[in-house]
Amino acid sequence: MRIIPAEEFKLSREVEYGTPEQNEAVREIVGAIRTEGDAALLRYTEQHDRVKLDAASLRVTQQEIEAAYEHVDAAFLTAIREAAVNIRVFHEKQKRSSWMDLQPDGTLLGQIIRPLKRVGVYVPGGKAAYPSSVLMNVIPAQVAGVPEIVMVTPPATGGQEGINPYILVAAAEAGVKEMYRVGGAQAIAALAYGTVSIPPVDKICGPGNIYVALAKRAVFGVVDIDSIAGPSEIAVLADDSADPAYVAADLLSQAEHDEMASAILVTPSRRLAEAVAAEVESQLAVLPREQIARQSIDSYGAVLLVKSLEEGIDIINRLAPEHLEVMTEEPMQLLGRIENAGAIFLGAYSSEPVGDYFAGPNHIIPTNGTARFSSPVNVDDFIKKSSLIHYSKEALLKNGEHIITLARHEGLEGHARAIEIRLEKERGN
Amino acid sequence: MRIIPAEEFKLSREVEYGTPEQNEAVREIVGAIRTEGDAALLRYTEQHDRVKLDAASLRVTQQEIEAAYEHVDAAFLTAIREAAVNIRVFHEKQKRSSWMDLQPDGTLLGQIIRPLKRVGVYVPGGKAAYPSSVLMNVIPAQVAGVPEIVMVTPPATGGQEGINPYILVAAAEAGVKEMYRVGGAQAIAALAYGTVSIPPVDKICGPGNIYVALAKRAVFGVVDIDSIAGPSEIAVLADDSADPAYVAADLLSQAEHDEMASAILVTPSRRLAEAVAAEVESQLAVLPREQIARQSIDSYGAVLLVKSLEEGIDIINRLAPEHLEVMTEEPMQLLGRIENAGAIFLGAYSSEPVGDYFAGPNHIIPTNGTARFSSPVNVDDFIKKSSLIHYSKEALLKNGEHIITLARHEGLEGHARAIEIRLEKERGN
């Protein structure tokens, strides 16, 4: 792992917009689903997933879900249930209520909070199918009060027909009652526009391959979408007190995700820097996903030597990492200066996987520097607000002239008259 | 104004994505600003706005702002100041605090709320320059705690050089200290990537023409953007008790915005329907913006006759209008059933311009049916959340095996080992 002075480092990965061919393919699929509905959905499923279904078999049955429970082991079931409880408890604290502001003149202003009515969660097939991500998308929607949460996932995973039983169990444990065996751009289009078999949703979330990402982009506006996740990142800010084996293990747990993942150590300690670089090498050698992790470390990994922890924090704020671990003697003292980081892990025992799987906060976190302006998935992503204005006659008589003045200065005479007509009539009464 | 049975109505306006030529022009401008900075910014300003500036004259001076105050009348100043107070008071109620959850085993979980650091507000030139919109974008950002709010607006409005003094005064009153005379796609690109004269921002908001909208779309991801507003809409739900003159005036105050605006009355009363249609005709005849309003009413306006108010609410929920006025005998009683509407105005005195200019809630509201899943501009649009995890040794020893189980079931051995290495060491101690 290269050790470099901080000022020489720049992390930059361009956003993936797909090739013209991929965009064209997605446009065609979305258009076909929109006009032909189920017929196109079944055709693309046969074409891309090599599974021949009919409309009646799109929905996953109760029997299949029960069968999935037979396939999963007790340790998994216990762990996912405890994780679900923790995730629910954390997200419950994000809930907000509608409020009203009553004014002495009889005016009532307010903000109404309502859950979205129907949300679709996409779960990819194959190796990228993570039961934990099912919980992280479904539970916040549920806590928000979304009455209809539907999951879609490809009918075949890695060449094998049938849905990963761990995914089915995670969804059932999270409380999903409606699941369909469709994937790819065709599943996204079906959720957005609806078909006879799959009623449309208000929002689509969950990760997927490039076709899924492009389809989400294409239907945005018809429905809401979540942000399109980039490769994962971790930055560790550590001083001499940190255990190099812990730091290296945490960097590698990020690097093993994919070749484009980024793992960075920021430290003022050359001793730690060298020890971590050595540990990374020895831990890498025995890691099952060594090849992926090594390519990530070589391409996007680095140890950045800084003069002080303060300079380190400046760099962190510039990187705005998805995950930040702070392993220093007094991590809590630094918290107030950390401006940009999606999730902050403090101290030696707050290893990133604690947050990935179990502690409660969401593991879907802004990547690629977007923690500067966006947030981990949370309950607010599944609600909408409406403003409420109940103006009193007294308030209108008192303030009407101001409103008319502002409207006329913007050249909107019709606005002015809507007020004026009332003032004339009510003053006449 | 046509009166039609509700089931025959469908409002649908496609999202505007620009012509290939417009997209190409924007791509070129954004690329040039990104690589050449100020030089390109000045070149495009000369080309598009026909104003020759140098880098030193991009920023609006204190003297110009003071001169603008000389140009505006006292009635405007009083009105905009009172409006600003109301907007501030309403948005203050949207603020939220960071929170912590302390657990008995020493674990600390939390959600940190921070304002964005720097926000850019785009204000169009010409007739679409609305002082009220300056307040509606700037004040929520300010209430959120954004320390740097910068305004950009074209150096010429409607062929005349110089910025509209009402815009300058509104911005100054809202508290903007940094303003630049640049507009178009080049201003958006400068805010996103930064130039020597204009440091980059974290989020860009505010309306603009198609080039501005396409530029915002192009830089999304580098910075955050607000939603791209479509044409404005109003729906009025009224019964026999409503005053037809008030209803007509409110419909027209929407229709005068632009030819694509939509104004719809939903009512079970044929008597009201006919009276409103007649009132619309007679009020239209004397409206300065008659031509615009008439085209809007003819193309996108309608009176929808329903069998009951309940059926009317179903239609409203399907339309998800930007603005909804409820003028019925007991409007408050219907509120609980209204699911989709950006801003809800209750009763005879809550005319839409009350909310457009003065009451306090934001007037930037989701259009084109997107109130199904999005919200008026609010303080949350200018903050970001970070999750906080400070796991205790005790918690890790207790829960570590569950985390390892979940990681191994997802095939992420590196994740499992990051926990395992700690369990082994700490149990050994």
A69-75: long-range contacts (C-beta < 8 A, 24 or more apart)?
A: A69/A165, A69/A169, A69/A172, A71/A165, A72/A165, A72/A166, A72/A169, A75/B405
Same domain, residue pair B165 and B303: no
Q: What angle do CA B15, B363, A218 make, to 5 degrees?
A: 20
The sign of the torsion formed by the CA atoms of A241, A245, A246, A252 equals positive
Tokens of B215: 């530029």
Widest distance between CA atoms in chain B: 88
Same domain, residue pair A197 and A275: no
Same domain, residue pair B329 and B218: no
The strand pair at A343-346 and B302-305 is best described as unpaired
Q: Which residues of A touch B427 (CB under 8 A)?
A: none
Query: Mutate which of B157, B284, B357, B378 to disrupt the A interface (most A C-beta within 10 Å)?
Result: B357
Note the pLDDT tens digit of each residue in A208-252.
888 999 999 889 888 999 987 778 899 999 999 999 999 999 999
Same domain, residue pair B234 and B185: no
The amino acid present at B22, given as its one-letter code, is Q
The amino acid present at B415, given as its one-letter code, is H
Choose between A328 and B7: higher pLDDT: A328
pLDDT at residue A344 in the model: 98
Helix (H) or strand (E) segment spanning residue A384: strand A383-390
- For residue B330, give the 3-state DSSP assignment: coil
Nearest to B373 among A116, A132, A375 (CB): A116
Same domain, residue pair A48 and A155: yes
Mean pLDDT of A36-51: 94
Q: Are A396 and A422 in contact (CB under 8 A)?
A: yes
For chain A, give the number of residues: 429
Same domain, residue pair B57 and B184: yes
Helix (H) or strand (E) segment spanning residue B68: helix B62-71
pLDDT at residue B243 in the model: 97
**For the ranges A27-31, A52-56, B17-21, B388-392, which has the lowest average pLDDT?**
B17-21
Q: Does the interface ipTM go beyond 0.90?
A: yes
pLDDT at residue A386 in the model: 98
Beta strand segments in A155-297, E: 156-157, 160-161, 178-180, 203-205, 224-225, 233-238, 262-267
Same domain, residue pair B116 and B31: yes
Report the catalytic residues of B: 322-323
Cα of A419 to nearest chain B Cα, Å: 7
Q: Which residues of A touch B231 (CB under 8 A)?
A: none
At B57, which CATH number?
3.40.50.1980
Mean pLDDT of A163-174: 94
b/e string for B326-335 if b means 16 or more Cβ within 10 A?
Answer: bbbeebeebb
What burial class does residue A56 get, using C-beta atoms within 10 Å of its C-beta: 0-12 exposed, 13-18 middle, 19+ buried?
exposed
Same domain, residue pair A234 and A221: no
Question: A16 pLDDT band (50/70/90 cuts)?
Answer: low
pLDDT at residue A8 in the model: 75
Cα radius of gyration (chain A): 26
The answer on pLDDT for A105 being more than 90 is yes
CA distance B87 to B139: 7
Tokens of B63: 């003297």
Question: A4 pLDDT band (50/70/90 cuts)?
Answer: confident
Same domain, residue pair A208 and A280: no
Question: A158 pLDDT band (50/70/90 cuts)?
Answer: low
A5 Rama sector, left if φ>0, alpha if ψ -120 to 50, beta otherwise: beta
Contact A418 B250 (CB under 8 A): yes
> Does residue A106 sit within a domain?
yes
Tokens of A234: 């971790």
> Does residue A386 sit within a domain?
no
CA distance A215 to A8: 37
Contact A399 B358 (CB under 8 A): yes
Torsion angle of the four alpha carbons B257, B260, B265, B266, in this order, in degrees rounded to the nearest 10: -140
Contact A406 B76 (CB under 8 A): yes
**For the ranges A150-154, A258-262, B139-143, B350-354, which has the lowest average pLDDT?**
A258-262
Total number of domains in chain A: 3
> Does residue A235 sit within a domain?
yes
| Cα–Cα distances in angstroms (integers) from residue A55 to residues A43, A182, A197, B93, B278, in the given order | 11, 11, 7, 49, 50
Query: Mutate which of B118, B225, B384 to disrupt the A interface (most A C-beta within 10 Å)?
Result: B384
The answer on pLDDT for A1 being more than 90 is no
What burial class does residue A139 get, using C-beta atoms within 10 Å of its C-beta: 0-12 exposed, 13-18 middle, 19+ buried?
buried
Point out the residues of chain B with pLDDT beneath 50: none
> Does residue A378 sit within a domain?
no
A390 is catalytic: no
Note the pLDDT tens digit of each residue in A191-201.
999 999 999 99
Same domain, residue pair A184 and A54: yes
What number of C-beta contacts closer than 8 Å exist between A and B?
A: 350
Choose between B13 and A24: higher pLDDT: A24
Q: Are B142 and B172 in contact (CB under 8 A)?
A: no
pLDDT at residue A14 in the model: 63
Instruction: Give me the percent of chain A exceeding a pLDDT of 90.
Output: 83
Same domain, residue pair A213 and A327: no
Q: Which of A173, A233, A322, A325 is catalytic?
A: A322
Instruction: For residue A111, count other CB atoms closer than 10 A to its CB.
Output: 22
Choose between A354 and B125: higher pLDDT: A354
pLDDT at residue A230 in the model: 79
pLDDT at residue B154 in the model: 92
Question: A20 pLDDT band (50/70/90 cuts)?
Answer: confident
Q: Which of A323, A325, A352, A363 is catalytic?
A: A323
> Does residue A50 sit within a domain?
yes
Last residue of a domain, one of B181, B199, B225: B225
Note the pLDDT tens digit of each residue in A291-303.
999 999 999 999 9
Note the pLDDT tens digit of each residue in A413-422.
999 999 999 9
Last residue of a domain, one of A225, A254, A270: A225
pLDDT at residue A332 in the model: 93
Query: Mutate which of A296, A385, A398, A420 to disrupt the B interface (most B C-beta within 10 Å)?
Result: A385
Same domain, residue pair A112 and A259: no
Strand partners, A237: A266, A326
Choose between A121 and B8: higher pLDDT: A121
> Does residue B381 sit within a domain?
no
Residue A248's domain spans which residues? 3-10+230-359
Look-up of token digits 């939220």: B96
Mean pLDDT of A17-40: 92
Question: A159 pLDDT band (50/70/90 cuts)?
Answer: low
